[in-house]
Amino acid sequence: MSAVVQQSSGVTSAGARVGRAVKPQSESELQASARQARTRNRVWVWVGRIAVAVIFIGGWQLLTQTKLLDPFFYGQPTQIWDALVTLFTKGTAFGSIWDQLWVTVQEALFGFLFGSLAGVIIGILLGSNRYLSNVFNPYIKIANSIPRIVLGSIFIVAFGLGIFPKILLAAVLVFFAVFFNAYQGVREVDQNLIANVRVLGASPLQIARHVTIPSAMTWIIASLHTAFGFAIIGALVAEVLGAQKGIGLIISQSQGRFDPNTVFACMVIMAIVTLGAEYLITLLERSVLKWRPPVRSESQAI
């Protein structure tokens, strides 16, 4: 995402530079100046980002140190750091932090995989078949209106404290995010393009392969970004509700011990995981949607 933003601002400032130049420049000079402008821009973006972090964390530290905010409830950045160090050096009451993290990541990943797969398949199916869509429409709406936490409790009661109910809850959260997008994506397919392949003699399967799926892909991939966040939430919430391992378990234990710093430390860990996944999804998006004109992906990235 960041790369796109930088690119766009790089182009404008390069243009401004060319406008200012008095004597005509050679091609290589133009290229060099454009590259310079781009690097300068990237530097500024990072300066801005670091400034935001410094102000936020520094302000937090300051407010809690001066007791304007009570560190007992709100934690404190330095103590969160200490908690992080403790988690990674001393481990947790349930084993090493890496074990816990691995369990949670596994749950989120499987949930993400199954949920998005089901979402894409069912979304495309219902999106391209009016009859099925009419039949299932009310049931999907009902299922979507069930509070997910309640669902989590039911899963844990039904399937125990193992990894399976966590995957299930994560998958359910992911499913609805992806399903509605895939469904809408199929609905938005340009009817002209469908007519185009139909005239050329395409079968329904060929229509799906050459038109419907690639066209809906824009929507589906957009939903994957939020979907991974949902997968993590699903896994964590289910763990908080009842588990033998996982980051969510550490969170609920720390909560019981009135230890906000460890809770925050766990949030930091999960944020890093989510950022990593987000990066991978962006890579996937770039390779699958490389046909898109840059302007559009830019506006979507912002």
Which among 40, 39, 42, 33 has a CA at the least distance from the CA of 14? 33
Quote the CA–CA distance of 255 and 243 in Å, as a whole number.
15
CB of 184 to other proteins, least distance (A): 18
Q: How far is the CB of 174 from other proteins (least distance, A)?
A: 24
Contact present, 223 and 184 (Cβ < 8 Å):
no
Among 202, 208, 222, 301, binds other proteins (CB under 8 A): 202
Q: Is 73 in the site for other proteins (CB under 8 A)?
A: no
In the complex, least distance from residue 197 CB atom to other proteins, rounded to whole angstroms: 7
Closer residue to other proteins (CB): 120 or 237? 120
> Site size for other proteins, by CB under 8 A?
21
Q: Which is nearer to other proteins, 213 or 266 (CB)?
A: 213
Is the CB of 187 or the CB of 198 nearer to other proteins?
198
What does each C-alpha distance from 239 to 10, 101, 121 come to in angstroms? 44, 12, 28
User: Which range of residues in 106-114, 138-146, 203-211, 273-281 is near other proteins by CB under 8 A?
Assistant: 203-211
Shortest approach of other proteins to residue 226 CB, angstroms? Answer: 22
Phi, psi of 141 (to 5 degrees): -65, -45
| Paired strand residues for 95 | 92
Considering only the stretches 120-128, 175-183, 206-214, 250-258, report the one whose residues sit in contact with other proteins under the rule CB under 8 A: 206-214
Instruction: Tell me the three state secondary structure of residue 190.
Output: coil
Give min distance, CB of 294 to other proteins, in A: 9
Q: Is 214 in the site for other proteins (CB under 8 A)?
A: yes
Residue 293, burial from CB neighbour count under 10 angstroms (0-12, 13-18, 19+): exposed
- Interface residue with other proteins among 187, 210, 225, 286 (CB under 8 A) is 210
CB 178 within 8 A of CB 116: yes
Scanning 25-33, 175-183, 186-194, 257-265 for contacts with other proteins by CB under 8 A, the matching segment is 186-194
| SS3 assignment for 219-268 | HHHHHHHHHHHHHHHHHHHHHHHCCCCCHHHHHHHHHHCCCHHHHHHHHH
Q: How far is the CB of 34 from other proteins (least distance, A)?
A: 19
Neighbouring C-beta atoms of residue 290, cutoff 10 Å: 8
Choice from 196, 244, 255, 299 touching other proteins (CB under 8 A): 196
Q: Which chain residues interact with other proteins by CB under 8 A?
A: 190, 192-193, 195-202, 206, 210-211, 214-215, 217, 289, 291-293
